[in-house]
Every structure is written in structure tokens, then in C-alpha cells.
Structure 1
């Protein structure tokens, strides 16, 4: 891992493997370590580039930032590593960022993997769920909150307790609040038709944060996108159905791009 300066701040970026590049983007409050099971497997065939988004992990933590800042940072990472074309894999918040990048720099994204996405939101999905259950979680710390809320966004909450770390945030309350605020009021629905990347959208049937209906909207608005609903997953299919999820991702990344007919 190394800190690199992008858009005036330091981002923690990890590069593994060789081959066609795949940039991986984590969820709100998280960090690239939450995607290690993906990078470890994909780096045997691809060059994986995983980052701690601004405000997260070991990257700089400005007091305020926006979703557009995240989008600009990923494009900055592409420029830093001189990537003319790359694949993008975004999970939850990472899928929002990936949508924005695919819209803004479409000619540089050849494969787009949107995992548990939504196309728009008045707040972050985490903030919405916490607000809906405010009375139940009152007085709990963030770790306790996520343990309690697992039942609402995973297929098997008891089994997922073993992976609670991927939902927990190491950010203090004010930084976690800034991370969530950055996602307020985004809406890509009018622009998703501009995405030219070959796209797969993967949702979990039991996801109460970004339900499959949200993923279907993304897939319907992106030209020729494929939608996959994982039947025994919620918001973390890479942990709930790891082999099925990774097999789908690898098959998609290895699939030849259809030729463009003039």
C-alpha cells in the first residue's frame, strides 16, 4: 500500500497482480481491506487497484467532501497510473462512484461491475436504515448498531456476525457523518444511458439497504446491462455467496467485449 497525491489529498492505494486493470471501490465508512477477498482472487489474473476513498481508511479525511470528489479521485487514480482503459468494480457506495466515473469518463471504462447498487438517493442507504430504526438502536454504539441491523440487510444474520468487520466503520462519529453526508441527494438516472461500458449489476435478494429493485433500475437504464439477483445474499454477496459471486465476476471480466458495429 502507498499514499499517492490525487486532487490535492493523499489517497491510500494498493496495487496487486498484472494484466488488465480493475479498480475496486468500497462502501461508505469502509476501506479497501473490506474487499481483500476480491483483490486476492482477481489479482491472479488482473492488475487490481484498490483505494481507500477520501475520508476513509488511511486516506486523508477532509471535514467535508462530495460524491463528485470521489468520482474525480477515481479518475485521478486512472490518470496517475496512466490507464487509458480500465474495469471498475464498485460495492454499495463504490457502485455510486463507479456509475459517476462511467458517465464522466465513459470511453475509459470497458467493464463495469455494480454490486448492490442504487441509481439515486436522498441519503446514504445506511443513514436511511438507521433513521428507520432510530428508536430501536438508541443508545447503541456503531458496532452494536450494525450487529442489530444485520437482520435487515443480510440473508443469514447469524452467519454474517462472523464478518461484521466489513460493515463496521473505524471512523469516529464526525467522520462517519461526513462520509454519509457526501452521498446526499445524488441521482444518475437521467445520465445512465451515457454509459458505454459492458455492465453487470449484482444485487442480493435479501438486501434491505439497496434492494434488488434498485439494482434493476440501474440495469434497465444502462444500455445492454445484465442483471443478476443472488438468491441467498443481502448486502454482501461476496461474503454470503463468495464462490457464486466471484465466479460471476471473473466470467464477466474474462468475457470478450462485443465488437462495435459502425
Structure 2
């Protein structure tokens, strides 16, 4: 596994596929407490014909590093990796918090983004008063219980329980001093008033049963984008693992339409 040292963190990444394939590289960015293997299906499919890059974010998966507290800091890590790999322009694909990172990069460095794909992600976190109180209270319970509650509700009803338990265990391995600050960073994330400046073609793929980042919030975001295509899939918040083939198809169609 190749690694890159960035601001005291060893970032683990994969860089696969032909360098002279069709189109610019794809860069996959996972979400909160997840890791780069959320994208296994997409890596296998797209690396046959084009360059595909994915990473474990700071403090996640096989990457080291602590102390990250903002989405912007994670965006700096991703762009540092792109600089290291001599990637001047890419298609950014981000799931959940990864979509927040992808939007941040697109707003700050629009010249580096060919297209944008947001999977179960939003531009502004919005809570009702009741849900806000519930989410705030959830941080007061033991750490492993906090993780379990958040990951369990990320999957649509009917997803195999043994697989959900495996994802809970993997998420709980993410250090607390990475998990909790980034939980706060996601709750505070708000670029909705700026996304009208994003001019690149954008695909938004969302699970119909997503209760972590509800569909209505994504649709409000879509209205603010000048050039957005929306796809709704019968899944929860964890689309990359709940319906990987359907997500790959949606992404493939979006990229193919660009290359005709």
C-alpha cells in the first residue's frame, strides 16, 4: 500500500488503472468513520479503462494522523495527494462527508475539477429542533454506543445485520479524537449559499431511505446547483455498499454522457 506523508499523517492510497485511459482520473473520497474500501466495486469496474485513485482519509482505515478538525483540512490532504500524483484535473466522487470535501475542493480550486459526483451528501446540515437535541445528546453516551447508533441507522431496513455489525466494528476502530471533531465539523458544514458558483456538471446520487442526510435536503441542494443531474436509488445512506452495482451504473452513465 503506497503512503504519502502530509502534515504529519501517513495517508494510504490506491492508484490503479491505465494512465492513458479514457478521460481524466477518478478520485474517490469516502465518508465519516469509513475507509477507501467503500469504493471496491467502483475501483474494480473503472480501473479497467481509466486511472482511479482512492485514499483513506487522515485517521481512517490504514492512514495515520490525528488532530484534524475541519472539512477544509481534509480537503487540503486530498489536494496534497493529487499534487503528489501529478493530477492536475479530476472527477471527484465523494460519499457523505467525502462529498463535503469534494465540494470544498471544487469551490476553492475549480480549475482542478472536471466533474463532481455527490453520493448521499449535502451542502448544509439542517436539523429540526427535536432532531438537533437528539443528535446533541447522542454524543454524551459511551463512544462505541454512539458509533453503533449512527452506523446502524445509516443502512436501509433489511440490510443484512451481520454486515451492519461488521461496519460498526470497523467504524469503532477509528480513533475517538478523529471521529468526534469531524462529527462536529459535518454538523457545522454549510456551503449552500456558495454552490451556485460550482459550474462543473454534477451528479447527485441519493438513497431514498437515507435518514442520516434526508433526501429533501439533497433536493434543496440540487436546486442551488447550476448544472446538476439527480438519481434516486432504493437504498439508505450507505449507497456504495448497499447498492454498489447501481451506483457504478449511474456513475458510468454520467461519465459516458460527458465523453460522447
Q: Same fold (TM over 0.5)?
A: yes
Alpha-carbon distance, 1:171 to partner: 1.4
> Whole-Å Cα distance in 2 between the matches of residues 141 and 172 of structure 1?
11
SS at match of 1:120: coil
Equivalent runs, 1:64-213 vs 2, <5 Å: 64-121=68-125, 131=135, 134=138, 141-142=144-145, 145-146=148-149, 150=152, 152-159=153-160, 161-166=162-167, 168-169=170-171, 170-213=173-216
Q: Which residue of 2 aligns with 1:234?
A: 236
Structure 1 residues 64 and 143, CA gap change in structure 2 (3 angstroms): closer
Partner of 2:248 in structure 1?
246
- SS of alignment partner, residue 63 of structure 1: coil
> Which residue is equivalent to 2:34?
30
Extract structure 1 runs of 4+ deviating beyond 6 A.
127-130
CA displacement at 1:207 relative to structure 2? 0.5
Task: Determine the C-alpha separation between the residues in 1 that align with 2:142 and 2:59.
Answer: 25
1:122–1:185 CA contact under 8 A, matched in 2: no
Match of 1:44 in 2: 48
Q: Which runs of 5+ in 1 are unaligned?
A: none
How many Å apart are 1:164 and its aligned residue?
Answer: 4.2
Give the CA deviation at 1:96: 0.4
TM-fit CA distance, 1:133: 7.8
1:226-249, Cα deviation, whole Å (9 max, x unpaired): 11111x201122332232221111
CA spacing shift, 1:163–1:246, aligned 2, 3 Å: farther
Contact 2:29 2:95 in 1 (8 A): yes
| Alignment coverage as a number of residue pairs | 251
Matches within 5 A, 1:6-17: 6-17=6-17
TM-score (norm 2): 0.84
TM-score by length of 1: 0.84
Matched residues in 2 for 1:133 and 1:157: separation?
Answer: 27
Per-residue CA deviations over 1:148-177 (Å, capped at 9, x if unaligned) read: 863x44333443642543454121333322
Once residues 61 and 133 of structure 2 are traced to their aligned partners in structure 1, the CA distance between those partners, rounded to angstroms, is: 23
Secondary structure of 1:187's aligned partner: coil
CA RMSD, Structure 1 to Structure 2 (Å) = 2.9
How far does the alpha carbon of each residue in 1:90-119 deviate from its partner, in whole angstroms, 9 at most, with x for none?
001101001111111112111111000111
